[in-house]
Structure 1
Amino acid sequence: MNSFTKAQQWSELDDSLVEAITRNADKVWEYAEVGYEEFKSSRTLVDWIESEGFEITERNVGGIDTAWVASFGSGSPVIGILTEYDALPDLGNEPVPSETPRKDGTTSGHGCGHNLIGTGAIGAAVALKRRMENAGITGTLRVYGCPAEELLAGKNYMAKAGVFDDLDACLHWHPANMNTTFNLATVASADLRIAWQGKNAHAGAAPWEGRSALHASELFAHGINTMREHIVPEARMHYFLENGGSAVNVIPDNASVVFRYRGPNAADVKKNLDWIRDIAKGSGLMTQTRVEITEMAACYDVLPNQVLSDHMYAHIEQFQPPVWTEEEQAFARTLQSEAGYPEDGMATDMAPDFRGASMGASTDVGDISYITPTMGILVAAWPTHVQAHHWGATASNGTTLGHKAAIKAAQVLAATGFDLLTDPELLEAATAEFKERTGGKPYESMCTAEAHPVILQRYAQAGDGACGCIGDSLGKE
């Protein structure tokens, strides 16, 4: 079986590439752009990968301005690597070990490390491309610019557009508080926006003239909370009130809720969405308000692949987890103390393979895992106990802790990509497991619209001809 040696791998991941990974990671961290708004972040990554000899073969994928595909090489096998680059609202933090708002006033932040995912993935692709050129290796290397993962509305719409259909395997990675493979069964999910239209009235003088959209939303929430007893333990339901009125003495004529259902698989999600729609309709009937239900996005659970996990785990062991300086460990312990966690510092060892264990989170990587054999790794980028979507993760992802994780991820992804390109037996084994887990059933998108409703609304407001104009300019001045 062919594989990188440490010396071979480091010869491709030279100082200039390490510098590019860290420099671009810091740029994207500074931009901290939320889903569908990652124009500068996406452009930064497109400029970089084009400068390394990749061709941008598709832009504006799935109607999303910041979605793109880059390619190098030709023929089979076709190996994909995923990037991400969107941030989260209200998680902006200085890169310090305390909860400290950014001095520049930016309120969003990379609390999940997507600034590192994009740059580590491209670093891997560049290293692998160089190896392919130096060794005369044939095959196609595909890099995907994937926006809006935090909205669970990027890769699934790209998948609906068909850009992953010809992949033989796909690789990804994620920052974490541990080092292991991403051999997890995440949950499938779907997002709805439910809006009620009622009738205004003076809340004191003539409330009987009104019909409260806010009451409709409250009844919907009550219906959802009575439903909780009757869903499977792996399922989750959460929502927030987007709008519920603006004056205490006015009967609210508009209210809306953004709702997410997570279930163990696509079948469970589809089944329970019918129930949720009925609850929404019932709340409208009870309050004599008109209800509108918009299906925002839906994604599959992640399908494990033990063949690829075993292989990637061996590579993480080969290259070893990141090595931390005493200053970095002191940063981590201070952050843990500030956040109320045990002061155990950064992970220095390997965590066990999850071997397909279920977790409550979701990712749109799930859709790809039902199209082609897919596997990723987790690399420690923030202190133990600290979770994603926390100010401590945002802070760490803007420091050398995050840099070292991205560099380590680049090594492992490049090594695994090399093996998939050069070892037919590995690819055949991963494909056989994939076919067994899917039962040979072809992928079918759960997204009901061709593009996300937010995107469709944006273009409708901009007028004809708006779609694609920004996407076409990515990577160009």
Structure 2
Amino acid sequence: MDNRNAVWRQVDLHKDRLIALSDAVWATPEVCYTEARSAEAHAAELRHQGFRVVQGVAEIPTALVGEAGAGGPVIAFLGEYDALPALSQEAGVAEPRPLVPGGPGHGCGHNLLGSAALLAATALKDWLAETGRPGRVRYYGCPAEEGGAAKAFMVRAGAFADADAAITWHPASFWEVAPPLALANTRADFVFTGRASHAAAAPHLGRSALDAVELMNVGVNYMREHMPSDARVHYALLDAGGIAPNVVQAHARVRYSIRARDLAGMRELVARVRRIAEGAALMTETAVEMRIVSAVSDLVGNAPLEETLHAVMEELGPPPFDEEDRAFARAIRATLAPGDIAAVWRAIGMPPTEAPLADFLVPLDAKRNPAIGSTDVGDVSWVVPTVQAHAPTVAIGTPFHTWQVVAQGKSPAAHKAMVQVAKAMAAAGAALIADPALREAAWAELRARTRDGYASPLPPEVAPPLDMSRG
């Protein structure tokens, strides 16, 4: 009914151009909200493929939407293209070898993520044109997933208001429908202001902002015993007040990432961290200001879409890896700790094997023990029925946000996984266009799971933090 083979042929027609786009984005890594070249490369490819392109979505210069088709349902494909700092790495080598010491790199595979989503959107667009079906295909170019919450700002701006379904994916170790789990997350800066003085001659006149940061960190560490076991709190010191130990530090800034299973739990934990910061300021006679940088929601699952995508992935099968692919994967695995490999098998609830690359589909009902992070896809899932795939772009066990991911980012195995997942996403999109009952079932599921409606985790006064990568 959904002409999957016809859709898959369209993917094969366009795959070389989109692989080239992925490699080009890999070669120009740009971190959170600075993805000017990557966004423009995606916009140029969209125009080449006949999409109508709008850039600067939600007042974010590197966010864009490409649309094609007319009438009918709107199927959204979510793409990303931001990199991570300090992960520069030569491709195709199984040892740390930075191209630019200290430079950024695609340590989460977003060069592949955006390109495969655009490939799926292009294939579905051409299938619609070929069959004459009504329907619109949208590619959402989403920057700053790594902590910048761009999709949350795009949702708040109404960019998804008329979408009927959203489909995306993420590079991973396995071929599977991604479990619909993600922690709600707030990133906030705590800015302490004290009083400078000579640290030897007049220490009694100084009030140390750095002392306040240290006391805040101690307080949060004591709180960890008394918060839910699946909550997470991390921090990074952005401003230690200077490099002179003989000056009492008059300013200091620490950034906290505060995560919990749902929005209510996150808001409660944020309030507790705020009170600890206020206590630290009280103890040190300094002042503190809390500034929200970004925030994302937890993820809402959608069983009808997950079952549809799983059936497609089962029919399609995993990427067709060959012995050269497996040889490079084994070389990468030799750089990993045994715990890295054991952790990903534990996450999917399956006994480990010696396979260097995934050659099977993880069952939809696998007894998982997932390691849960956060993603701004969560906010999309609150307003549009959403489903995600995982595809094995890396050797089994490769920890993400590492040089090993960057080293595999242009490999033939990664390209094969990217093309295979584009086929899965495009076919799921075709099923949604062809089957009104599936769309209604997906919306019924979303309404049942979000009875109280969506409330953005972003305070209304918070704008996209376009300068957050500058610290």
Q: TM-score, normalised by structure 1?
A: 0.91
Instruction: Give the superposition deviation at 1:359.
Output: 4.2
The equivalent of 2:12 in structure 1 is: 14
1:184 aligns with 2:180: yes
Within-5 A mapping of 1:405-420: 405-420=417-432
Within-5 A mapping of 1:22-421: 22-56=19-53, 58-105=54-101, 107-245=103-241, 246-341=243-338, 344-353=355-364, 359-421=371-433
Native 8 Å contact 1:34 1:148 kept in 2:
yes
The equivalent of 2:436 in structure 1 is: 424
Native 8 Å contact 2:8 2:123 kept in 1:
no
The equivalent of 2:4 in structure 1 is: 5
Q: Quick one: structure 1 residues 355 and 46, their matched pair in 2 at CA, closer, same or farther if it must change by over 3 Å?
A: farther
Instruction: Give the superposition deviation at 1:364.
Output: 0.2
Matched residue SS, 2:387: strand
Matched residue SS, 1:217: helix
Q: TM-score, normalised by structure 2?
A: 0.92
Q: Quick one: structure 1 residues 185 and 421, their matched pair in 2 at CA, closer, same or farther if it must change by over 3 Å?
A: same
The equivalent of 1:472 in structure 2 is: none
For structure 1, which runs of at least 5 residues remain unmatched after alignment? 459-477
Instruction: Give the superposition deviation at 1:243.
Output: 1.4
In the alignment, the residues of structure 2 paired with residue 438 and residue 248 of structure 1 have an alpha-carbon distance, to the nearest angstrom, of: 52
| Structure 1 residues 30-81: Cα deviation after superposition (integer angstroms, max 9, x where no partner) | 111001000000000000011111101x322222110111111222311111
Q: Quick one: structure 1 residues 203 and 457, their matched pair in 2 at CA, closer, same or farther if it must change by over 3 Å?
A: same
Q: Which moved more, 1:65-74 or 1:95-104?
A: 95-104
Q: Quick one: structure 1 residues 451 and 41, their matched pair in 2 at CA, closer, same or farther if it must change by over 3 Å?
A: farther
| Structure 1 residues 158-186: Cα deviation after superposition (integer angstroms, max 9, x where no partner) | 11101111111110010100010013211
Native 8 Å contact 2:88 2:100 kept in 1:
no
In the alignment, the residues of structure 2 paired with residue 24 and residue 457 of structure 1 have an alpha-carbon distance, to the nearest angstrom, of: 26
CA RMSD of aligned residues (A): 1.8
Identical counterparts, % of pairs: 36
Native 8 Å contact 1:190 1:262 kept in 2:
yes
Instruction: Give the superposition deviation at 1:97.
Output: 3.7
Native 8 Å contact 1:184 1:354 kept in 2:
no
1:455 aligns with 2:466: yes
In the alignment, the residues of structure 2 paired with residue 47 and residue 233 of structure 1 have an alpha-carbon distance, to the nearest angstrom, of: 45
Q: Which moved more, 1:245-254 or 1:85-94?
A: 245-254
| Structure 1 residues 103-152: Cα deviation after superposition (integer angstroms, max 9, x where no partner) | 34572111111000110000001111110001001022111110000114
Q: Quick one: structure 1 residues 338 and 456, their matched pair in 2 at CA, closer, same or farther if it must change by over 3 Å?
A: closer
Instruction: Give the superposition deviation at 1:340.
Output: 3.1
In the alignment, the residues of structure 2 paired with residue 35 and residue 354 of structure 1 have an alpha-carbon distance, to the nearest angstrom, of: 35
Matched residue SS, 2:105: coil
Question: Which letter maps to 1:388?
Answer: F
For structure 2, which runs of at least 5 residues remain unmatched after alignment? 342-353
Question: Which letter maps to 1:305?
Answer: N
In the alignment, the residues of structure 1 paired with residue 407 and residue 468 of structure 2 have an alpha-carbon distance, to the nearest angstrom, of: 34
Question: Which letter maps to 1:396?
Answer: Q
Native 8 Å contact 1:178 1:379 kept in 2:
yes
Instruction: Give the total of aligned pairs.
Output: 453
Native 8 Å contact 2:89 2:100 kept in 1:
no
Matched residue SS, 2:211: helix
In the alignment, the residues of structure 1 paired with residue 31 and residue 246 of structure 2 have an alpha-carbon distance, to the nearest angstrom, of: 35
Matched residue SS, 2:25: helix
In the alignment, the residues of structure 2 paired with residue 106 and residue 400 of structure 1 have an alpha-carbon distance, to the nearest angstrom, of: 26
In the alignment, the residues of structure 2 paired with residue 92 and residue 456 of structure 1 have an alpha-carbon distance, to the nearest angstrom, of: 21
